[in-house]
């Protein structure tokens, strides 16, 4: 069971609890509530691991894009060097080499930008999910504290 399901279960427990007349308070089974919170604590590290994996995957994608870009540039340079033999061929080769290098650099730049955008989107999505979970947990803790105060 993932954290979101546990939070839904927590919400269901609160919604199905016995209401106290004239106040917006609910009585819930403390043991059941604490068990759900315990499960959330157990599963929350998995969400953190996923965020760490996304960060590492981002770095891997960026490194791979950098390596591919450098390899493309090296191949373009080698290709340009092989074209240089005669005066006319030299002039044409230099022109073609510059075009290839520019295209390779542009391609590498676009790959890096795409990789960064992709990983930024993943990190933003994970960040928002974690922020929502944390907010929900904090709200539930506040409600639990209020319930505990009323019962005392």
pLDDT tens for the 152 residues of the chain, in order: 677 888 899 889 888 888 888 888 888 889 998 998 888 888 777 778 888 888 899 999 999 999 999 999 999 888 877 766 656 677 887 899 999 999 999 999 999 999 899 999 999 999 999 999 999 999 989 988 988 888 76
CA quadruple 108, 114, 115, 116: dihedral positive or negative? positive
Calculate the CA 115 to chain-centre distance.
13
Cα–Cα nearest to 6, from 38, 50, 30, 29: 38
- Return d(Cα 88, Cα 94) in angstroms, integer: 10
> Coil, strand or helix: which one is 7?
helix
Q: Please give the model's pTM, rounded to 2 decimal places.
A: 0.39
- The pLDDT value recorded for residue 18 is 87
List C-alpha distances in Å: 149 to 88, 134, 139, 146. Answer: 90, 22, 15, 5
Confidence at residue 93, expressed as pLDDT on a 0 to 100 scale: 79
Within 13 Å of residue 40, how many CA atoms lie on the same side as its CB?
22
């Amino acid at each position: 069971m993932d954290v979101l399901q546990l939070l839904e279960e927590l919400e269901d427990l609160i919604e199905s609890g016995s209401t106290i007349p004239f106040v917006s308070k609910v009585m819930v089974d403390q043991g059941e509530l604490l068990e759900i919170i315990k499960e959330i604590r157990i599963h929350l590290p998995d969400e953190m691991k996923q965020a760490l994996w996304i960060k590492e995957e981002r770095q891997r994608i960026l490194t791979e894009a950098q390596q591919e870009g450098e390899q493309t540039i090296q191949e373009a340079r080698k290709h340009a060097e092989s074209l240089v033999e005669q005066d006319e061929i030299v002039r044409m080769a230099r022109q073609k080499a510059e075009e290839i290098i520019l295209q390779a650099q542009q391609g590498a730049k676009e790959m890096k930008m795409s990789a960064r955008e992709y990983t930024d989107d993943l990190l933003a999505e994970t960040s928002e999910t974690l922020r929502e979970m944390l907010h929900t947990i904090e709200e539930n803790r506040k409600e639990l504290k209020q319930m505990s105060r009323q019962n005392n």
